[in-house]
Chains A and B, each alone.
Chain A
Amino acid sequence: MPGLLKMPRRGVLPLRTLVVLLQLALVPSQLAGCLLNPCLEVIANKTFRCTGLNISGVPAEVPNTTQNLDLSFSNLKSLGSNYFSPVPELQLLDLTRCHLHTIEDNSFKDLPNLSTLILTANSLQYLGTAAFYGLTSLKKLVLVETNLTSLTDLPIGHLHTLQELNLGHNNIASLKLPKYFSNLTSLRHLSFISNKITYISKGDLDALREVNRLNLTLVLSLNNIKYIEPGSFAKIHLGELVLRSSFEDFNGMSTSLQGLTGLHVNRLIVGEFSDSQRRVDFQSGLLSGLCHVQMQEFVLISFREFEDNTDTLFNCIGNISSIRLVDLQLEEVSEVPVLSQVKQLECKKCKFKEVPAVKLSLFKELRVLRITKSKHLNTFQQKFWGLSNLEVIDLSENRLSFTSCCSPKFHACPNLKHLNLSFNSDISVTGDFTNVKNLLYLDLQHTKLFGPGSYPVFLSLQKLIYLDISYTRTHVKSQCTFCGLNSLKVLKMAGNSFENNKLANNFKNLSHLHTLDISSCKLVQVDQSTFDALSELKELNISNNKLLIFDPVVYKPLQALRALDFSNNQLSVLLDSALEMLPDSLVLLDISQNLFECSCVNLNFLKWIKEKQELLQNKELMICHTPAYMKNVNLSSFYLSSCQLKVSTVTSSVIMLLAAAVFLFLIYKYYFQLYYSLVLLSGCKHSAERGDTYDAFVIHSSKDQEWVMRELVEPLEGGTPPFQLCLYYRDFLPGVPIVTNIIQEGFLSSRNVIAVISTDFLESKWCSFEFDIAQSWQLVEGKAGIIMIVLEEVNKALLRQRLGLSRYLRRNTYLEWKNKEISRHIFWRQLTGVLLEGGKP
Chain B
Amino acid sequence: MKTSDALVLILVLLYINTSTEWPTHTVCKEDNLEIHYKSCDPQQDFAFSIDHCSDITTHTFNIRGAIVLRHSIKELYVKVDLIINGKTVLTYSETLCEPGHSKLIFCGKKKGEHLYYEGPVTLGFKEIPQGDYTISAKLTNEDHVTVACADFTVKNYLDYY
Contacts and interface: CB of A to CB of B under 8 A. Distances in A.
Nearest to A96: B112
B111 A72 contact: yes
Given A34-B18, A97-B112, A7 B105 contact: no
B112 A120 contact: yes
Contacts of A16: 4-5, 8
Contacts of B113: 120-121, 144-145, 169
Contacts, number: 99
Contacts of B103: 273-275, 302, 327
A8 B16 contact: yes
A124 to B, nearest CB: 14
A121 B104 contact: no
Given A34-B17, A54-B10, A121 B114 contact: yes
Given A6-B21, A277-B119, A299-B101, A27 B14 contact: yes
Contact of B110 (A5, A142, A326): A142
Interface string A553-596: 00000000000000000000000000000000000000000000
A120 B8 contact: no
B118 interface: yes
A466 B79 CA distance: 37
B19 A144 contact: no
Interface string A105-134: 000000000000010110000000000000
Given A6-B15, A326-B101, A120 B111 contact: yes
B137 to A, nearest CB: 18
Given A2-B21, A274-B103, A275-B105, A12 B8 contact: yes
Nearest to A22: B11
11 contacts: A2-B19, A6-B19, A10-B23, A19-B11, A23-B8, A94-B111, A118-B110, A120-B112, A145-B113, A245-B105, A302-B103
Contacts of B19: 2, 5-6
Interface in A44-78: 52, 54, 72-73
A794 interface: no
Which range contains the number of B residues in contact with the other chain?
A: 20 to 34
Contact of A52 (B8, B17, B102, B110): B17
B145 interface: no
Interface string A257-281: 0000000000001000111110000
A142 B111 CA distance: 11
Given A2-B21, A12-B12, 7 more contacts: A3-B21, A6-B21, A8-B16, A145-B112, A245-B105, A275-B103, A327-B101
B15 A144 contact: no
A276 B105 contact: yes
A120 B22 contact: no
Interface in B66-112: 68, 70, 101-105, 110-112
Contacts of A8: 12, 16
Identify the 8 closest CB pairs spanning chains A and B, nearest first: A96-B112, A120-B112, A6-B19, A97-B112, A23-B11, A273-B105, A121-B112, A274-B103
B12 A120 contact: no
Contacts of B123: none
Contacts of B104: 273-275
A20 interface: yes
A608 to B, nearest CB: 37
Contacts of B112: 72-73, 96-97, 118, 120-121, 144-145
A393 to B, nearest CB: 21
Contact of B7 (A20, A118, A269): A20
A19 B23 contact: no
Interface in A734-777: none
Given A96-B111, A120-B110, A145-B114, A20 B4 contact: yes
Contacts of A169: 113-114
Interface of A: 2-3, 5-10, 12, 16-17, 19-20, 23, 27, 30-31, 34, 52, 54, 72-73, 94, 96-97, 118, 120-121, 142, 144-145, 169, 222, 245, 269, 273-277, 299, 301-302, 326-327
Interface string B125-144: 00000000000000000000
Nearest to B44: A73
A212 to B, nearest CB: 26
A2 B8 CA distance: 15
Residue among B4, B7, B105 having the largest count of chain A Cβ atoms under 10 Å = B105
Interface in B1-53: 4-5, 7-8, 10-19, 21-23
Contact of B68 (A2, A3, A97): A97
A302 B15 CA distance: 44
A118 B113 CA distance: 11
A30 B70 CA distance: 22
A221 to B, nearest CB: 9
B1 to A, nearest CB: 9
Residue among B111, B114, B117, B119 having the largest count of chain A Cβ atoms under 10 Å = B111
B79 to A, nearest CB: 20
B16 A6 contact: yes
Contacts of A2: 19, 21
A145 B116 CA distance: 13
Contacts of A30: 14, 18
Nearest to A23: B11
Given A30-B18, A169-B113, A54 B13 contact: yes
Contacts of B101: 269, 299, 301, 326-327
Contact of B23 (A7, A17, A54, A276): A7
A273 B102 contact: yes
Contacts of A96: 110-112
Nearest to A52: B17
A20 B15 CA distance: 12
Contacts of A142: 110
A34 B14 contact: yes
Nearest to B1: A16
B15 A5 contact: yes
A216 to B, nearest CB: 19
Contacts of B13: 52, 54
B120 to A, nearest CB: 8
A20 B21 contact: no
Contacts of B17: 34, 52
A19 B14 contact: no
B23 A31 contact: no
Contacts of B68: 97, 121
Contacts of B8: 12, 16, 19-20, 23
Contacts of B11: 19-20, 23, 27, 31
A542 B114 CA distance: 49
A277 B103 CA distance: 13
Nearest to B11: A23
Given A34-B17, A275-B119, A144 B110 contact: yes
Contacts of B110: 96, 118, 120, 142, 144
A20 B18 CA distance: 17
Contacts of A97: 68, 112
Contacts of B15: 5-6, 23, 27
Nearest to A5: B15
B12 A222 contact: no
Nearest to A119: B112
A245 B114 CA distance: 19
Contacts of A17: 4
A97 B112 CA distance: 6
Residue among B10, B13, B14 having the largest count of chain A Cβ atoms under 10 Å = B14
Nearest to B102: A273
A17 B14 CA distance: 17
A543 B2 CA distance: 70
Contacts of A23: 8, 11, 15
Contacts of A9: 23
Nearest to B12: A8
Contacts of B18: 30, 34
Nearest to A33: B18
Contacts of B117: 275
A96 B109 CA distance: 13
Contacts of B5: 16
